[in-house]
Amino acid sequence: MGRFDSQTFNVGERLKPPATAGNRTQSGGVPRAVDVGIVGAGFIGLSIGWRLALAGLSVAVFDRGEAGAGSSLASTGMLAAAAEHESGGDDLLALARESQEQWPDFRSALETQSGMSIDYRSEGTLVVALARDEVERLRFRFDMQRRAGLDTQWLNGAEARALEPSLRGSVAAGVFCPGDHQVDPRLMSPALAQAFIAHGGRLFENTEVLSFERTAGRASGLVTASGACQAKTIIIATGVWAADTLAPLGLNIPVRPLKGQALALRANRQTGNLKRIVWTEQIHLAPKSDGRLIVGATVEDMGFNATITAGGALALLEGVHRALPSSEEMEIEAIWSGFRPTSDDDAPILGSVDIPGLLIATGHHRNGVLLAPATARAFEDLLLHGQMKGAANRFGLTRFNRIDAAQGGAR
C-alpha cells in the first residue's frame, strides 16, 4: 500500500532511485530478536537505523514498500534552516541549526560507508523578491533571520541577478542564505540503506508491520506476515502514517498529511540551469547536478488525497515561468505528489510515549531531510546514553498535552 500513497508520473523512470541501488533483500528471513526494531524505512527510520547499527546495536528496519518511497522520495532535498525560519519557530530553528551543522560529517560518513554520492551541493540558497511589492515582505523575513542570529545577506536586484543571471530582469531584491545547502533525495535512500546494511543492519522491504507484541505492559516485538521479531526497543518512524501505526496501541498522535505537488524539469545546453536553490514567494527551484531542476511545491491540507491536479501543475509552471524565462524550453520530466508528516505545531515528535519500550520519530513536516542527522543523533543519545541532548529534548509528545491543557482540553 505504501508505494501507492503518493503518485509519481514520470518519463523513463528517471525519478526513481537509480538502478545501482542494488538488491537489498535480506536473506535468512525476519530475525527472532534484535536490540532495536524500526518501523518505516524513510530518511528518518534509515538514518536512525544506520547510526544505531554503526554504534554496534543489532537493528532491523521494516517497510511495507520500498525504502524511501514514502514522503522521502517526494522531497526536494533542501537543507534550509535559514530560508525556512518562521516567526515563533525558535525551538525548531535550534534543532535545524544543530542538524545543519551535523550535515557535512553525516554526508561524508554516508558517502564513504555506502560508496555512493548523494549530490551534496553547497552553493547556498537565494530568496528573491520578483517585484517591487514583494520587497517589503522579503525585508521582514530578512530582519527576522538577522534577529535569530542567522548568517544571511541582503542583496539589491542587480546583486541578486549577478548570482543567478538567468532570473527574470524584474528581480528587485534578494536574501542570500549561504548555509542552506541541498542533497538529491533520489540518491539518499539507496545510500542510507547501503550504509545501514554495511554495518550489519537488516532491512526488510515490502514487509508491513501488522501489530505489536506486549509483555507485562512493555512493547516487546513486531509482527509481520513473514514472522515476528522480538525487540528491546521499537521505534515508530512511519512518518505521515504514524497515527495509523499507533492507533491499535490506543495512542493518539497529532500528525496529519500536508500534500505537496512538485515537478522536475530537465535543463539543456540552450536553457542552462540555476547554480543554486532559488526561492520565490510562490515556489522553490532546486538544480541537481544531473541537469534536473526540481520545482516545488504546493501546500494542500486535504488528507490522503494524492491526486495530481491541473491547478497544482499550473501553480508550479506559472511560478517557475515568472522567475526563470528559460524554463519555457525545458522538458517536463516528472510530476508527483507526496505528503509532509505535519504535527499540530509543525515540528517533529521525538522520543518516548506512554508505553515502555516504544519510541516515536515522526512529524518532520517540511524538514525531514534537513533534520535527519539531528534526529538520528538524538536517538543514538537516548538509546546509548539514556537521554537526548540539545534541542531534541524540546520535541517530546507531552508538549501537546501542555498545549491541550492550556486550551481547555480540546485538540
Residues at the interface with ligand FAD (CB under 6 A)? 2, 39-45, 62-65, 69-72, 74-78, 208-209, 237-241, 245, 260, 262, 296-297, 338-341, 362, 364-370
Shorter beta-carbon distance to ligand FAD: residue 43 or 379: 43
CB of 405 vs ligand FAD, minimal distance in Å: 27
Give me the least distance between CB of 315 and ligand FAD, in Å please: 13
What backbone torsions phi and psi does residue 41 show, to the nearest 5 degrees?
A: -115, 45
67: amino acid identity, one letter: A
For ligand FAD, give the closer residue by CB, 171 or 285. Answer: 285
Q: Which is nearer to ligand FAD, 139 or 256 (CB)?
A: 256
Rank residues 21 and 173 by Cβ distance to ligand FAD and give the closer one.
21
Q: How far apart are CA 392 and CA 317, in angstroms?
A: 37
Q: How far is the CB of 47 from ligand FAD (least distance, A)?
A: 8
Phi, psi at 3, each rounded to 5°: -70, -15
| CB closer to ligand FAD out of 65 and 357 | 65
Q: Cβ of residue 286: shortest distance to ligand FAD, in angstroms? A: 7
Strand partners, 342: 256
Within 10 angstroms of residue 280's Cβ, the number of other Cβ atoms is 23
Shortest Cβ 296–ligand FAD spacing (Å)? 5
Cα 186 to Cα 204: distance, rounded to the nearest angstrom: 19
- Which of 295-298's residues contact partners 24+ apart within 8 Å by CB, and which partners? 295/262, 295/263, 295/264, 295/265, 295/319, 295/320, 296/76, 296/260, 296/262, 296/263, 297/76, 297/260, 297/261, 297/262, 298/259, 298/260, 298/261, 298/262
CB of 42 to ligand FAD, least distance (A): 2
Closest by CA to 377, choosing from 393, 363, 365, is 393
Shortest Cβ 366–ligand FAD spacing (Å): 5
Q: In degrees to the nearest 10, what's the CA dihedral of 323, 326, 331, 334?
A: -10
List phi, psi (to 5°) of 179.
-90, -5
Q: For ligand FAD, give the closer residue by CB, 49 or 357.
A: 49
Closest contact distance (angstroms) between CB of 283 and ligand FAD is 11
Which lies closer to ligand FAD via its Cβ, residue 161 or residue 366? 366
Alpha-carbon distance of 254 to 42, in angstroms, equals 19
Beta-bridge mates of residue 175: 127, 154
| Residue 76 C-beta: closest distance to ligand FAD, Å | 3
- From residue 178, how far is each of 156, 289, 402 by CA, in Å? 16, 18, 37
On whether the CB atoms of residues 209 and 223 are closer than 8 A, the answer is yes
CB nearer to ligand FAD: pick between 161 and 367: 367
d(CA 104, CA 93): 18
Q: Which one, 49 or 157, has the nearer CB to ligand FAD?
A: 49
Antiparallel, parallel or unpaired: β 153-156 and 181-182 = unpaired
* Closer residue to ligand FAD (CB): 95 or 173: 95
Distance of closest approach, residue 177 Cβ to ligand FAD, in angstroms: 13
Rounded Cα gap, residues 65 and 259, in angstroms: 19
Query: Least distance from C-beta 407 to ligand FAD, angstroms?
Result: 26
Residue 210 contacts residue 155 (beta carbons within 8 Å)? no
Q: Is the CB of 47 or the CB of 157 nearer to ligand FAD?
A: 47
Backbone angles phi, psi at 60, to 5 degrees: -120, 135
